[in-house]
A and B are shown apart, each in its own frame.
Chain A
Amino acid sequence: MANTEISFVRTEMLQEQAPPALNVGLVGWVRGNLFPDVLSGILTVVALYLIYSLLSGLLPWVFGGVWNAGSLSECREIIAAAHGEGAEAACWAVIHERFWQLMYGFYPDHLYWRPNLALVLLFAAIAPVLFEGAPRKMFWITAASPFIIPWLLWGGTVWVPIMAAMGFVIGYFVYKLVAQVSSNLLGLIAGPLALVIWWLFLSSYASSGLASVIPLELEPVASRKFGGFMLAILLGVTGISMSFPIGIVLALGRQSNLVIIKALCVGFIEFIRGVPLITLLFVAQVMLSYFLPAGTDFDIILRVMIMITLFASAYMAEVIRGGLAALPTGQYEGADSLGLDYWQAQRLIIMPQALKISIPGIVSTFIGLFKDTTLVSIISLSDPIGWVKFIQANAEWNGIVWELYGFVAFVFFLFCFGMSRYSMYLERKLKTGH
C-alpha cells in the first residue's frame, strides 16, 4: 500500500470551456427570452407586430409636429404644406404658446420667480427626507419650508409665516410648563390647544401689529390666480406630507385599547372611505361656508387641501394598519420585555417595520392622491385639466384634444413614475433579510 506509484488524485485541473454559443450573448438572450418554444415564439412575433404598428403611427405624428403657430387652423395649414393634404401631425404649438399658463395658471408672470424658488426649496426640503446621503443640516430647510413656501406663493407680510411658526414655539413652552407643574398628559393636551388658540385668534393681531411697525412684504397673489401644474403640485405635496403623519396616528388609534379613541378613528376612517372625493370637494366648495361663521374668509385652496388630506389619510391609515397587522406579536413582546415604553416601541421597533412592509401601498396611495388632484377642476379651480378646458374653449385652439391631454398625461406620468421608482429603490435599500 505504501509505495503505490499510481496517483489517484488529478494533479492538473481541466481548463474552463466556453459555454455553447446558443446559451450566451445576444443569440442566447433572444433564444431564451423571445423564442424559448413555438407558442412563445408566435406570441413574440404578434407582440412585435402590434408594437410596430402602434409606433409607426404614433412616432411620425409626435415628431413631425408643428411647434410654432398661432392657432389650430394655422397649424393645419403648415402641416398640409409640409406633408401634403390630409396628413396628420401633432400641433405642439398649443403647448408652446400656452406653456406658462399650463404651468402657473393666472399667476402674474412678473412673479414667476416665486413659484420657481418655492419649487427649488421644495426639492431641498425633501432631499434629506428621501436620501440618507443628504447633509443632515438640510433638515432645517425641511422644517422652515412649510412656512416659507406658502409665503412665497401667496405673498403678503412676512409676519404671517413667522407668527405661524411662533405658534409651535408657544405650544412647546406651554407643554413644558404644564408638564412641569402638573402631568405630562395635561401638557400634551395644553400644548396643542395653545397652538390652535394662537393660530385662530391671536396670531393675526400679532402679525398685523408687527406689519404696521416693520412692513416687510411680498406682493400678494390671490388664490383664484393659482393654477396649472403649480396647483397640482401644491395640492399633491401638502396632501402627501400631511396625510402620512395623520394616517400613522389614525392607524395607531384604530389599534388603541382606549375605546373612545378607537371608535373615533374607526368612525372617521370608515366615513371618509365611504364617500367619494368629489363629494368632499363639493363640501369644501359650498357647504363649509354654511358651517363657518359668516364673514370668515376661508381660502378655497386651503379648504381643498384639507379635504384631499383627510381623504388620503383614511386610506393611508388602512395601508399602515395592514403593515402593523403583518408584524408578529413577538416584536411587541421583545420591545416590552426590554422596558421600552409605548412611544419608544412604536417609533423604534414597530413603525419602521410596519412602514417598510407598507411601502408599496403607501406609494400607491400617494400616486392616487396626486392624480386625484385633477378632480379640483370640477369645482372650477384651474388645475392642468381645468386649463385644458379653458384653452379648448378658445377660438384659436377650438377642437384640439390629443396634444393637450397627451402633454398633461406625460407630465403626470413623469411624477408618478418617479415616485414608483423611488419606492422600489427604498424597498431594495431597506431589505435586511438573507
Chain B
Amino acid sequence: MNEVVEREVDRSKLQVSDEVAIEITGMNKWYGSFHVLKDINLTVNQGERIVIAGPSGSGKSTLIRCLNALEEHQQGRIVVDGTELSNDLKNIDKIRREVGMVFQHFNLFPHLTILENLTLAPIWVRKTPKGEAEETAMHFLEKVKIPEQADKYPGQLSGGQQQRVAIARSLCMRPRIMLFDEPTSALDPEMIKEVLDTMIELAEEGMTMLVVTHEMGFARQVANRVIFMDEGQIVEQNEPEEFFNNPQSPRTKLFLSQILGH
C-alpha cells in the first residue's frame, strides 16, 4: 500500500493560484434512504492536487463522481469552473467538457483503436477537424510514452498502458480539472509506477487534480492537501506532512495505522 514514488517531484513547479476551480457548499446525497454524502463543504483552487483517502464505502468515489454529474446530488451547490451543476443539461455538458475523469477500470472503448479512442470526443463534442484531433492525440500519446500503440485496440495493451491511454484520452479534451478514481487499484505493482509518473508530470504542468487513491507515497510527494473521508463526511483535511505525521481525529489515526502499518 505504501508504494514509494521513485521519480523526483519538482515541488517548485507545483503552484496553486487563488482562482477557485471547484466550490462545494452544503452538499448532501442519498441513495434511496441511505445518506451517502453528508454536508460536504470543499473549495478547490486552480492548480491544487488533492488526494482523497478513507476506508472502503466512505463515499470517496461518490463525491468525485458528483463533480461531473455521473451521480446526481440532492442538496447543496456544486460550482465547477464558474458553472453551477443543476438539472440543466447544458451546464452538465459544459462541465463534462472541462472536467476529465480517469476510472479504476479504464473504461476505454474496446471496439475503437487507441487513436480513435483519443480523437472521438474532440471530433464529436468539440467539433475539432479530424486531422487536428489526430495531431493532438499523438501529442498526448507521446506524453504518456506509448505513441507506437496508436493503431492497436485496447484489448491488446497491458493494464498500465491502458490506464495511460485513458489519461491521454481525457487530456485530449484539454480539461482544466482532472478527477482520478483509484487509477492504480486494478494494476499490477510494476505498472503502478508508470501511471503515477504520468500523473506527477500532469501535476507539474499545473493541472488541478482530485485523486482518490491508496498510494500514500503519491499523496506525500505530490498532493498539497489530503482529505480524509469516513461515513460520507470529510473528517479531516490537511497538508500531507501534517496529515501523516500529526493526524487529529482518532478515525484518521486508525486508518493511517492500518494502511501504513502493513
Contact = CB atoms under 8 A, between A and B. Distances in A.
Given A337-B100, A434-B156, A330 B121 contact: no
B111 A340 contact: no
A430 interface: yes
A352 to B, nearest CB: 5
B105 A348 contact: no
Given A331-B109, A353-B111, A340 B121 contact: yes
Interface in A402-434: 430, 432-434
A320 to B, nearest CB: 16
B40 to A, nearest CB: 20
A333 B111 contact: no
Contacts of A341: 93
B97 interface: yes
Interface in B67-110: 68-70, 93, 96-97, 99-101, 103, 105-110
A285 B121 CA distance: 50
A340 B156 contact: no
A326 to B, nearest CB: 12
Given A341-B93, A349-B109, A434 B155 contact: yes
Contacts of A330: 103, 105-107
A356 B109 CA distance: 13
B96 A339 contact: yes
B156 A344 contact: no
A328 B107 CA distance: 9
* Best-surrounded residue of B109, B125, B170 (most CB of chain A within 10 A): B109
A338 interface: yes
Contact of B96 (A336, A356, A430, A432): A336
Contact of A338 (B153, B156, B169): B169
Interface in A93-138: none
Interface in A59-74: none
A334 B153 CA distance: 16
Interface in A313-335: 328, 330-331, 333-335
A328 B154 CA distance: 15
Contacts of B155: 432-434
B108 A334 contact: yes
Contacts of B100: 337
B108 A339 contact: no
A333 B124 contact: no
A331 B121 contact: no
Contacts of A336: 68-70, 96
Contact of A337 (B96, B105, B108, B124): B96
Interface in A176-190: none
Given A330-B105, A338-B173, A339-B173, A432 B111 contact: yes
Interface residues of B, number: 27
Contacts of A338: 96, 120-121, 125, 169-170, 173
Contacts of B68: 336-337
A430 B100 CA distance: 29
Contact of B125 (A334, A339, A430): A339
Contacts of A353: 109-111
Contacts of A333: 70, 101, 103, 107
Contacts of B70: 333, 336-337
A430 B93 contact: no
B107 A356 contact: no
A352 B120 CA distance: 14
Contacts of B156: 433-434
A337 B101 contact: yes
Interface string A359-399: 00000000000000000000000000000000000000000
Contact of B153 (A335, A339, A349, A432): A432
Contacts of A331: 107, 109
A352 B111 contact: yes
B72 to A, nearest CB: 12
Contacts of A339: 93, 96-97, 121, 125, 173
Nearest to A342: B89
Contacts of B153: 432-433
Contacts of B108: 334
A328 to B, nearest CB: 8
Contacts of B110: 353, 432-433
B99 to A, nearest CB: 8
Given A334-B109, A338-B121, A348-B120, 12 more contacts: A333-B107, A335-B109, A336-B69, A337-B96, A340-B124, A344-B124, A348-B124, A352-B111, A353-B111, A430-B111, A432-B155, A433-B110
24 contacts: A328-B105, A330-B107, A333-B103, A333-B107, A334-B107, A336-B96, A337-B70, A337-B99, A337-B100, A337-B107, A338-B169, A338-B173, A339-B93, A339-B96, A339-B121, A339-B173, A340-B121, A341-B93, A349-B109, A430-B111, A432-B110, A433-B110, A433-B155, A433-B156
| Top 9 A-B pairs, shortest CB-CB distance | A334-B107, A338-B121, A339-B96, A330-B107, A337-B101, A432-B153, A433-B155, A339-B97, A339-B125
Interface of A: 328, 330-331, 333-341, 344, 348-349, 352-353, 356, 430, 432-434
